[in-house]
Amino acid sequence: MQRLLMRSPVAVAAFWIAVYLAIALLPLFILFLYPPATDGRSFWTEFSVALGFVGLAMLALQFALTARINRIEASYGVDIILQFHRYISLIAFALILIHPLVLFIDQPETLALLNIFEAPWRAKFAVTGTLALIVLVITSIWRQRLNIPYEVWRTSHGLLAVGAVTLGLAHTLGVSYYLGLFWKKLLWSAIALIALWLLIYVRIVKPWMMTKRPYLVEEVIPERGNVWTLAIRPKGHEGFKFQPGQFAWITLNISPFRMREHPFSMSSSGDHPERLEFSIKALGDFTQTIKDIQPGTTAYLDGPYGVFTSDRYWDAAGFVLIAGGIGITPMMSMLLTAIERKDDRPFLLIYANKGWEDVTFREELEDLVDSLDLTIIHVLRQPPEHWAGETGYVDQDLLQRYIPIHRGSRQYFICAAPVMMEQVEAALHDLQVPATNVHMEHFNLV
């Protein structure tokens, strides 16, 4: 089994899905072991309880999804895991809300339990935990509309999640109808403690480990397109190697315990851990400050992460890289690493920008052509006078002119704004490029 998982990424991904389903459905399995006497309890009451148990288990599993566990992340990528985290949170939230609603309909007398001043403690735990969960969901979905700063939201998000799970467990233990046996209580307590440990690991243990491996900013290099390359070196350690196209979370000039970290792709060669480069476009509050970072500034890294890398496809006949704007960053890392390794496979880079002066790494890319089997197609929305290259957008007609006839033999990497990625993905699908050969990287993970 272990050898199979090591060889096949698909098998690894399937394994983790099976583990997730097993844990999420564990409460139902537990109910079948030495079930209590129903004493005439209706089907809907039992159904309500089942929904509550599954919802609570799914809520506890959220801590594992956000802990950036390398073995799990390497199977899917952080962006997919975080999307799954968001959607599965809503499903768990719905199950937990439906649990009491079904009970209230089936047994109207239980509505009295909503009076937290007179209700027993088990009901108070349930009501308070549900309210914490409601606040958690509202502040997550409408964080930007509510103008909640990211740091404040992230701290409150963790506290509300811990509160919801803890109060939910206290409610189930207080009811004790289905957890009357000691081993059942012990098992549920272990689930809650593991979830709590994962939170402690993310918020305390991992930042402490990062303080033992600091980096120093060596220089900040201006690039075309309002982009700045942040070059850093490890201080007192060897740094880390990464697969070209991966990213890391960066904390600059503050303690990693502050949780003010930002994800950026490396733009340098993956085989040179002694100097890591991150090319960052000035788009927001934090990225606007990169140009002002002084050499000698302390940085901390959490990484590498991501499955958007050419290293996973060593048997590919070649690569088609489609980038828009700052989406060139992971592509640059792939190209530089390919040169370092003397990779003789063909690379096609289709690079879309607003204007010619906005083309980040313009000169550097031209230099790479001499050392790599690289074809570069620039696509400009606002081309200069006498421009003879491609104009407009990367659409199906343009792709059909340049991508190989044998389209299943190449791996396709897309990194751009969401609208462009969706359009390119649809165009590749219409051109009969296998979906398994198309890989996308999103800018925003938070």
Q: Where are the domains of the chain?
A: 2-208, 215-305, 313-441
Cβ contacts of 169-172, under 8 Å, gap ≥ 24: 169/56, 170/121, 170/122, 170/125, 170/129, 171/122, 171/123, 171/125, 171/126, 171/129, 172/52, 172/53, 172/56
Using an 8 Å Cβ cutoff, are 140 and 157 in contact? Answer: yes
The string of DSSP codes covering 360-408 is TTHHHHHHHTTTS-EEEEEEESSPPTT--SEES---HHHHHHHS-SSGG
Which residues, 6+ apart, have CB-to-CB distance to 149 below 8 Å?
Answer: none
Using an 8 Å Cβ cutoff, are 281 and 226 in contact? Answer: yes
pLDDT-based confidence at 444, cuts 50/70/90? low
Using an 8 Å Cβ cutoff, are 380 and 353 in contact? Answer: yes
What is the tens place of the pLDDT at every residue in 166-196? 898 888 888 876 666 666 777 777 877 887 8
Q: What is the pTM of this model?
A: 0.78
Residue 187, judged by CB atoms within 10 A of its CB (0-12, 13-18, 19+), counts as: middle
**Can you name the CATH fold of 313-441?**
Rossmann fold (3.40.50)
Using an 8 Å Cβ cutoff, are 247 and 304 in contact? Answer: yes
Section 241-267 average pLDDT:
89
The yes-or-no verdict on residue 65 having pLDDT over 70 is yes
The amino acid at 151: E
Q: What is the mean pLDDT of the chain?
A: 86
The yes-or-no verdict on residue 445 having pLDDT over 60 is no
Q: Dihedral (C-alpha) 105, 106, 109, 111: value to the nearest 10 degrees?
A: -40
Can you tell me the distance from the alpha carbon of 107 to that of 101, in angstroms, rounded to the nearest whole number? 10
Q: Dihedral (C-alpha) 124, 127, 129, 132: value to the nearest 10 degrees?
A: -130
H or E stretch at 157? helix 150-175
Q: Residue 1's pLDDT is what?
A: 30
Choose the weakest-confidence range: 27-41, 222-236, 250-264, 339-353.
27-41
| Highest mean predicted confidence (pLDDT) among 160-169, 285-294, 348-357 | 348-357
Section 144-157 average pLDDT:
82
pLDDT-based confidence at 331, cuts 50/70/90? very high
The yes-or-no verdict on residue 379 having pLDDT over 90 is yes
The yes-or-no verdict on residue 19 having pLDDT over 70 is yes
Q: Residue 193's pLDDT is what?
A: 82
Q: What is the DSSP letter of 342?
A: T
**Can you name the CATH fold of 215-305?**
Elongation Factor Tu (Ef-tu); domain 3 (2.40.30)
Tokens for 397, please give them.
């007609």
Residue 45, judged by CB atoms within 10 A of its CB (0-12, 13-18, 19+), counts as: middle
The string of DSSP codes covering 188-221 is HHHHHHHHHHHHHIIIIIHHHHHHTS-EEEEEEE
Sign of CA dihedral 418, 422, 425, 431: negative
Instruction: Compute the 3-state secondary structure of the chain and give helix, strand, coil in percent, each to the nearest 5.
Output: 55, 15, 30
Tokens for 301, please give them.
């890294």
* Residue owning tokens 């089907």: 43
* Antiparallel, parallel or unpaired: β 298-305 and 390-391: unpaired
Q: Residue 111's pLDDT is what?
A: 87
Choose the weakest-confidence range: 52-66, 365-379, 418-432.
52-66
Section 282-307 average pLDDT:
89
In sequence order, which ranges of 284-358 are alpha helices (DSSP H)?
328-340
H or E stretch at 151? helix 150-175
